[in-house]
Chain A
Amino acid sequence: MSTMPAAGEVVPVSYREGMPAQEQERAILERIRAGDRAAAETLVERTYATVFASLARLCGGDRDLAADLTQETYRKAWQALPGFDGRARFSTWLYRIAYNAFLNHARRPLRAVPFEGRDGPLSADPGQSAEEALESSEVSLRLGRAVLALPDDLRFSVTARFWAGQSVADIARQEGVSTVAIRKRLRRAFTTLEAALEGVVP
């Protein structure tokens, strides 16, 4: 999703508009390797909105929690960066860390329990009309809950694909399974989600 530089962002010289996102990432990481702080800031700026947005969805719209977990994610990511092997894209790898941070949080009470979506509407797009927002919040709420109730492997695949905007190939690489398996998981997830949404969507 927001893998391209946002408007007004200072774009470091080593990557250009139109360069594939992955190469841009690589260029930035190369510069971080060389000790360039500005590159590190760029990396954060480019990625944090997506990380936050995906965590906010995982947290059922709890923005404070999502912000905490975003910080947690970056703390871990900085420490883990020496181990990043470039197998998957950086942003996919980062989402795995964010997702783990969320899982860790959700697991904190002694027992692993199935995830239930929280109450409370997901924050809607400020550009929507009140009516649209109302309708979409009802649907998003239901959809969000259904996603959270998916089995873990399906949930990771779906959220990585749609909430964090990662490609199927990158998710497969990150998870060490075939793209076919990811596609199958997505299809299975769709079936479950469709069932969960029946009656809500006109």
Chain B
Amino acid sequence: MKSNAKIDVEKMLAETPAAAPPEDLLEKLRAEIPEELPKPAVMVPAPSRGWMKVAAALLLAGAAGLIGYRVTLDSERPDAVELPPATDREPLTKTRVTEGGPAGSVVREEAPVGKEKPAVAKQTREAAAKAPSNETLSPPPSAPAKRVVGERAVEPLAPVTQKVVVTGEAPLVELDRKAASSSVEGGVPGGVVGGIAGGTGPGFTTSARAPIAAPSTGGTREPNDAPYGDVFFKEYGTNPFVDTDDDRLSTFGLDVDTGSYTVARRYLTDGNLPPREAIRVEEFVNAFSYGDRPPARGDFAIRAEAAPTPFMKGDLYRVVRFNVRGRVVDEKDRKPAVLTFVVDVSGSMRMENRLELVKRALGLLLDELKSSDRVGLVVYGSEARRILDPTADREAIRDAIDRLVPEGSTNAEQGLRMGYEMAARFRSRDGINRVVLCSDGVANVGRTGPASILQLIEREARENDIELTTVGFGMGNYNDVLMEQLANKGDGRYAYVDTLEEARRIFVEELTGTLQTIAADAKIQVEFDPSVVARWRLIGYENRDIADERFRDDSVDAGEIGAGHSVTALYEIKLKEDASRRGTAATVRLRYRSKETGKVVELEHDLRLSDVASSWESAPRGLKLATLVAEFAEVLKGNYWAKDGDLAEVLRRARRLSPELASDERSAEMVTLVERAERLKRSVDPKSREEE
């Protein structure tokens, strides 16, 4: 009977009787207070997520008289500097501005940057050998950039003639032999050929169509052993160790995707080991937050830290963490957004309730949007349909979402086309324009296949500034390659959602927090000092490789970074035995085009030897966590460099670290995942894995 009296749930909830604790509980809890009391961090109420971070940052900035956090980087302010928290003792981050042309223009190498610039081009051996003596003499803090620079051996746009020497034994990575569909082209940076691991990216190309046409299904497993049918991943190889004398520069595009981690989690949660191609180590690393703070001023804070790694034998190895943290944009200052959702309602979305998850996720997102934001909706099954033109009417949006039901086959191409048309038609000139594709990534109907979709979104990104976020749902019949590639081309991001909790993280924290892109085509170049660093290895970022010569070529499509985004890159380095304890081990440079001013900005930051922790135990927490996450990913991937890696060891260390992170859901979750993976790996006959 429906009574007229409204049920007062709130009152009932508030009055739910409280169970009294058992009598002996308090005694037990008292007894468990640790012998040595932990020291809580300093009690500064510091909101640290989402726009609250901004509020705090603004307050601080205001208090310090730095009002106007939106620092305009122009040549009058050549040294706009971000001030990391004083306790971090970080050297200042230098900013340089290049009068940047639009994408496509060739950078003027010399102009404002001048002779302080280190070589863009690959160092010749001689130049590299010449440099050290000068470098060690120059006092690092005052003149960090005054380096003797090798002659430019290669013109900026000359073809890649990278010379990379893979040191050590040739890593025997048991690559998926079926990767025969990949064509290895010239200039392979230590490329992956017939089981010899090394390079990546440009050298290891496959036509855009290939991963779809000839997928390496499941990869490390026999097809009939695969936990999910038709899951498409692509293997990008593993970066090699490089002798600093041969190549002191490491260049790559930033990547803020996290999809790989969530996909792997999905596998593990279901009781399966993920195939190795599903693992992109940098996406694991970037799925975690390491407590890096946004800049007080400027677009980015750069952080560099290092410590001995427990995962490499020999005491000369260090793990290095570089972090780039984007400025946060206050919710109220964020530009209004036009979000066009392109939702896959094909029959496959009925599986595992995927569509329901999408709908719930969209509902969560609506809560967080500003009233000036508009949301449009396109769906596609066999055909694409316009459901709702972008509107700010929340009820209409919610209604439209509620009515979605799975239907027909999958015409992703038409769906995306229609989504882009809508986004272009309702484009907000000063606002944020983003298409959000929610799909299981399967595109099985469409005239021209994925290559033409990729072209379309690349063009739209360039011409109309419409960005793309791809959010993957579901697992059976899932296409990781397409989703990642789409986001890559569309100046966007790729995430994978397996649970509603993840949906909250992606749609609420990530999507709204980072809606406003602050930097386009962000590239990183790390320069190692050959007098200090004997060899180095970039962990992950295999499919983001950029030729060193093209670091200052602003037409290269690289990573987009949203407000508040945090991107981490890890290296393993081996120090020279006789290296001095002072000076600079490496310099990291970040180059990007500011979304606000359109100018190309270059920041740099030194990793000083005095900042290298003396032991693992004394390493910063973020560095420890990142190292463990990377090792976890590398062992899962079966990377050569982690061949002696042992999940039991990762687990032991993660457990020791995890209590410090217990309030962070994701870090706590990692321990569970490592546990699970370790058990699964033990239960799988080790031979059967190797034989494949």
**Is B34 in contact with A78, judged by CB distance below 8 angstroms?**
yes
Segment 42-89 of A: residues with Cβ below 8 Å from B: 44-45, 48-49, 52-53, 56-57, 61, 63, 66-67, 70-71, 74-87
Q: Indicate whether B1 reaches chain A with its CB closer than 8 angstroms.
A: yes
Among B25, B33, B39, B331, point to the contact of A178 (Cβ < 8 A).
Answer: B331
A97 on the B face (CB < 8 A): yes
- A184 close to B (CB within 8 Å): yes
A86 CB, nearest partner CB in chain B, Å: 4
Contact between B30 and A176 (Cβ–Cβ < 8 Å)?
Answer: no
Given contacts A40-B33, A44-B33, contact A86 B42 (CB under 8 A): yes
Task: Convert B352-395 into 0s and 1s, putting 1 for each residue whose CB lies closer than 8 angstroms to a CB of A.
Answer: 00000000100010011000000000000000000000000000
Nearest Cβ in chain A — how far from B331, in angstroms?
A: 7
Instruction: Determine how close the nearest CB of chain B comes to the CB of A174; give it in whole angstroms.
Output: 8
Any B CB within 8 A of the CB of A194? yes
- Taking the nearest CB of chain A, how far is it from the CB of B28, in angstroms? 6
Which residues of chain B from 595 to 632 have a CB within 8 Å of any chain A CB?
A: 621
Complex CA gap A125/B15 in Å reads 10
Residue of B nearest to A139 (CB): B12
* Chain B 87-102: CB-based contact to A (< 8 A → 1; otherwise 0): 0000000000000000
A176 pairs with B360, CB closer than 8 A: no
Give A161 to B1 CA distance when docked, in angstroms: 29
Contact check, A71 vs B28: say whether CB atoms are below 8 A apart: yes
The answer to whether the Cβ of B86 comes within 8 Å of any Cβ in the partner chain is no
Given contacts A52-B19, A75-B32, contact A67 B25 (CB under 8 A): yes
> What are the residues of chain A within 8 A of B270 when measuring CB–CB?
110-111
Instruction: State whether A162 touches B16 (Cβ < 8 A).
Output: yes
In angstroms, Cα B4 to Cα A202, docked, is 10
A119 neighbours in B (Cβ, 8 Å): none
Contact of B19 among A122, A181, A185 (CB under 8 A): A122
A26-B43 contact in complex given A81-B38, A143-B12, C-beta closer than 8 Å: yes
Closest chain B residue to A23, Cβ basis: B43
Q: How far is the CA of A32 from the CA of B42 in the complex (A)?
A: 12
A177 contacts B32, CB within 8 Å? Answer: no
Taking CB atoms, residues of chain B closer than 8 Å to A86 are 40-46
A197 touches B9 (CB 8 A): yes
Whether B501 lies near A85 (C-beta < 8 A) is no
Complexed CA–CA distance, A112 and B669 (Å):
13
A118 close to B (CB within 8 Å): no
One digit per residue, 1 when the CB lies within 8 angstroms of any chain B CB and 0 when it does not, for chain A 142-171 equals 011001000111000010011100000000
How many angstroms from the CA of A87 to the CA of B605 in the assembled complex? 29
**B 229-241 binary contact with A (CB < 8 Å = 1; else 0):** 0000000000000
Answer whether residue A4 sits at the interface, using C-beta atoms and an 8 A cutoff. no
| B500 x A122 contact (CB < 8 A) | no
Indicate whether B137 reaches chain A with its CB closer than 8 angstroms: no
The CA of A74 and the CA of B4, in the complex, are separated in Å by: 45
Contacts of B51 in A (CB 8 A): 178
Asked if residues B10 and A140 are in contact (CB atoms below 8 Å), the reply is no
Q: Is the CB of B37 within 8 A of A181?
A: no
Query: Taking the nearest CB of chain B, how far is it from the CB of A116, in angstroms?
Result: 16
Q: Is B14 an interface residue (CB 8 A)?
A: yes
A107 contacts partner chain B, Cβ-Cβ < 8 Å = yes
Contacts known (A87-B47, A177-B508); A125 close to B17, Cβ less than 8 A: yes
- Judge whether B48 is part of the interface by a CB distance below 8 angstroms: yes
Any chain B CB within 8 A of the CB of A21? no
B21, closest chain A residue (CB): A52
Q: Give chain B nearest CB distance to A144 CB in angstroms.
A: 7
Query: Of residues 39 to 70 in B, which have CB atoms within 8 Å of A's CB atoms?
Result: 39-52
Is residue B668 contacting chain A, with contact meaning CB distance below 8 A?
yes
Q: Does the CB pair B48–A35 fall under 8 Å? A: no
Please determine whether B21 and A153 come into contact, CB atoms closer than 8 angstroms: no
Q: Does A18 contact B (CB under 8 A)?
A: no
Q: Which residues of B contact A79 (CB under 8 A)?
A: 34, 38, 659-660, 662
Residues on B with C-beta less than 8 A from A26 are 43
Interface size class of A (residues with CB under 8 A): 35 or more
CB–CB A35/B672 < 8 A: no
A3 touches B (CB below 8 Å):
no
**Could you tell me the distance between the alpha carbons of A42 and B363 in the complex, rounded to whole angstroms?**
42
Residue pair A82, B38 in contact (C-beta under 8 Å): yes
Kindly state whether residue A11 has any CB partner on chain B within 8 Å.
Answer: no
State which of B17, B29, B41 has its C-beta within 8 Å of the C-beta of A44: B29
Interface flags, A163-202, vs B, CB<8A=1, else 0: 1000000000101111011001100001001100111011
Which B residues are in CB contact (< 8 Å) with A163? 13, 16
Which residues of A are found within 8 Å of B368, using beta-carbon distances?
177-178, 181
Decide yes or no whether B687 CB sits under 8 A from chain A. no
Q: Give CA–CA (A68, B394) in the complex, Å.
A: 44
Chain A residues with CB under 8 Å of B46's CB are 85-87
> What CA separation (Å) do A40 and B509 show in the bound complex?
34
Q: Which residues of B contact A126 (CB under 8 A)?
A: 20
Q: Would A1 and B508 count as touching, CB distance under 8 A?
A: no
Contact A41-B33, Cβ < 8 Å, known A33-B39, A162-B13: yes
Q: Is B663 an interface residue (CB 8 A)?
A: yes
Interface readout for A87-103 with B: 1 if CB under 8 Å, 0 if not?
A: 10000010011001000
CB atoms of A78 and B33 under 8 A apart: yes
CB distance from A188 to the nearest CB of B (A): 8
Kindly report which residue of chain A lies nearest to residue B657, judged by CB atoms.
Answer: A79
Is B147's CB within 8 Å of the partner chain A? Answer: no
Contact between B501 and A153 (Cβ–Cβ < 8 Å)?
A: yes
Given contacts A52-B21, A123-B17, A143-B13, contact A176 B271 (CB under 8 A): no
Chain B residue nearest to A70 in the complex (CB):
B25
A40-B33, A56-B19 given; A96·B663 CB < 8 A: yes
Query: With an 8 A cutoff between CB atoms, is A104 at the interface?
Result: yes
CB distance from B661 to the nearest CB of A (A): 6
Residue B143 is within 8 A (CB to CB) of chain A in the complex: no
Q: Is A16 an interface residue (CB 8 A)?
A: no
Cβ of A97: which chain B residues have Cβ within 8 Å of it? 662-663
Residue numbers in A under 8 Å from B14 (CB-CB)? 162
Considering the chains assembled together, what is the distance between the CA atoms of A79 and B40 in angstroms? 10
The residues of B that contact A140 with a CB separation of less than 8 Å are 16-17
What are 23 A-B pairs at a CB distance below 8 A?
Answer: A1-B18, A35-B37, A36-B37, A40-B33, A48-B21, A49-B18, A66-B19, A80-B661, A82-B39, A82-B41, A85-B41, A87-B49, A100-B668, A123-B17, A124-B17, A143-B16, A162-B16, A176-B509, A178-B50, A178-B331, A178-B368, A181-B368, A193-B13
With A70-B29, A161-B13, A198-B2 given, can you name 9 additional A-B contacts, CB distance below 8 Å? A26-B43, A48-B26, A52-B25, A84-B40, A96-B665, A100-B668, A163-B16, A175-B49, A176-B509
List the 7 closest A-B pairs by CB distance, nearest first: A79-B659, A176-B49, A80-B662, A56-B19, A162-B13, A53-B18, A52-B21
